[in-house]
Amino acid sequence: MRTNMAGVSRKPRTDLFEAFPDTLRRRLKAIIRHFLDSSFAGPKLDPNLPSIAALRIINCNATGKSVPFYQATCDVERHANIFPFYVIFKTGFKILRQFLITGSAPVEQDHRHTLAKLLNFIMAIEKESPLHHLENCADEVSLNVLLTNHLFAMLCSSSQFTMDNHLYRKHDRYMCPCGSDECELTGKCGDTSIGNTNVWHGNLDVILNSNLPVKFTSLGDGDYTNSDDETKNKSPVNNCANLNRKASLKLNQQMIAEVIVFSFLNKKLHPCSESYLVPCLGSCGTDLVVYLYDAQHDVLLESCQFELRNKTTGALNLVTIIVTWLVVNYRYTCTGLTPYMMKKSNFFTSAKEKLQVYQEDLKFGCVGLSEAEVVVEVSDLPWNADGLKDIDDELDELSKYF
């Protein structure tokens, strides 16, 4: 059996779908039923079921002069209705449900590859995974990198990612903090800046597969329920488990600003897309939340919070794993907005003075950098052709010695 750099076992693609254990198949069927139980939208949707809510912007500083993401303010309130989480990702649920019913692989190559990532991942974590030992992370940076390398990237159709140079430059760019000598990062540090210095802009913590932003909230953010003495000398995971995590993830203004800018940028770069609904993954320790924004219909959504690990047993939560898989592969799993979800966020009105900047003048990379900094950073961009040329030159040089 082959093992990739992040330590996930990979069965031969030809027999993966037939070899998937019946016990895991039954568990996944139960989870699918759990999602589908939330079969209606309304204010009385069971709060224990995966859900999503539309947000309305009351006030924001989206038209302020040169506002970085960390200074973004965006006061919001929820619309009355709450929607089942699965309605956004009907395509993904259909892919998974069809496999569970028939046992056969999807016909479309993209769907087959995406589903194989999920099945391989679930089979691997049943045996061993660094995700079972998150308490061993020495600090926030290590925890965030480990989650990116062993969760988000492993479930994504492409395991490539770019981490913000400013946050992670000091981190070993080759070795994963999981502690295994054989485990390397499938991503690298680089320029993750987006936006325009005339409006909201800044560096994303992580860009996954060049198309999905990830935001890690600091364990120092929000309102806490513990004193400094109680949290001292504990791992980031244990600290976050004892803090009021809802204060960090609930209605998070910076995440809202980032997903709005990213959606407008995505619409500019991919004008022929069938849907402009783009997600942003938010994480605080082992808790996750999903924000989505549609730059065409001006719809802003926030999911309920998902726990990666069971509070009582510490076991990995398959519901959260499936949610993560759906989100990181949204290009293949997201269905888009349904008519009854068209609840305006009022961003178009709030940003009316500079709406044209958001629609036409946002850019990816080198945002807010001086000319000197651009020269240094540009070769790190995953979409930069000059960076690829540098790699080719290095390979040509190495070939002289072989």
d(CA 362, CA 37): 40
- Residues 64, 22, single domain; the answer is yes
Write out the residue range of the structural domain in which residue 117 sits.
2-368
Q: Which of 200, 243, 195, 188 is nearest to 218 (CA)?
A: 243
Read off the pLDDT of residues 194-250 as tens digits, 9 standing for 90 and up.
Answer: 999 999 999 999 999 989 999 998 755 543 333 344 444 455 565 554 455 556 788
For residues 185 and 321, membership in a common domain is answered with yes
Q: Are residues 359 and 377 in the same domain?
A: no
Whether 402 and 278 map to the same domain: the answer is: no
Could you tell me the pTM of the whole model?
0.84
Helices (H), 37-108: 90-102
Give the total number of structural domains in the chain. 2
The percentage of the chain sitting over the pLDDT mark of 90, rounded to a whole number, equals 56
Q: Do both 217 and 288 map to the same domain?
A: yes
237 and 325 assigned to the same domain: yes
- Same domain? 364 vs 382: no
Is there a single domain that holds both residue 62 and residue 13? yes
Residues 386, 292: one domain?
no
Render each residue's pLDDT in the chain as its tens digit; 402 residues.
445 544 554 444 457 899 999 999 999 999 998 887 755 555 566 666 889 999 999 999 999 989 999 999 999 999 988 899 999 999 999 999 999 999 889 999 999 999 999 999 999 998 888 898 888 887 888 899 999 999 999 999 999 999 998 877 665 556 788 888 888 889 989 999 999 999 999 999 999 998 999 999 875 554 333 334 444 445 556 555 445 555 678 889 999 999 999 999 999 999 988 889 999 999 998 899 999 999 999 999 999 999 998 877 888 999 999 999 999 999 999 999 999 899 999 999 999 999 999 999 999 999 976 544 544 443 343 434 444 444 455 445 444 433
Give yes or no: residues 335 and 379 share one domain. no
Average of per-residue pLDDT values in the chain: 82
SS3 assignment, position 3: strand
Quick check: 243 and 236 in contact, CB under 8 A?
Answer: no
Six-digit token string for 210: 């060049």
Claim to verify: residue 400 and residue 349 sit in the same structural domain: no
Q: Which of 184, 208, 142, 173 lies closest to 382 in space, CA to CA?
A: 208
Residues 316 and 391 in one domain: no
